[in-house]
Every structure is written in structure tokens, then in C-alpha cells.
Amino acid sequence: LQLAYYSPSTLSGYLPIIGPIAGYIGTNYHWITVITNLFALVAHVGEGLYALHISRKLKLSALCSAKWFLQT
């Protein structure tokens, strides 16, 4: 969906079936791509925070916890 946000017209060449649909949404309903990208950002940060919580709950070292946070 990042490509639908930045350059929706190029999607049809890369994704034959989904590309035209994503290009249409990116061109005519730009707000959908913005909301989807924001949701993905929040979800990934949440995953990282949850990994940090679990690793601390398991009493892993701070370095190991940081690695789990960054890995997710």
C-alpha cells in the first residue's frame, strides 16, 4: 500500500490483478491509503511494545529485550 500512496499509477504494471484496484483506490480515495498506513504503523509499534513487555516479563536482559523490540 505504500506504492498506492506514493505512485498509484505504477501499480498496474507490477501487480496484474490487484494493481489496478489498488491504483484506483490510491488515486480516487487517497484517504484510505493514509488511514491504512497509519494503522500499520500503530500496529507495528504495538507489536514491538508487546514484545518488549513479554521479554521483560520473562526476565530477559535489557539488551535482549531491546533486540526483540527492534526485531518486531
**Interval 37-55: pLDDT, tens:** 899 999 999 999 999 999 9
pTM of the model: 0.68
Looking up cell 527492534 gives: 70
**Confidence (pLDDT) at 3:** 66
Longest dimension (CA), the chain: 49
Question: Which of 17, 32, 24 minimizes the C-alpha distance to 8?
Answer: 24
pLDDT at 69 over 80: yes
Residue 57's pLDDT band (boundaries 50, 70, 90)? very high
Burial category of 8 from C-beta neighbours within 10 Å (exposed 0-12, middle 13-18, buried 19 and up): buried
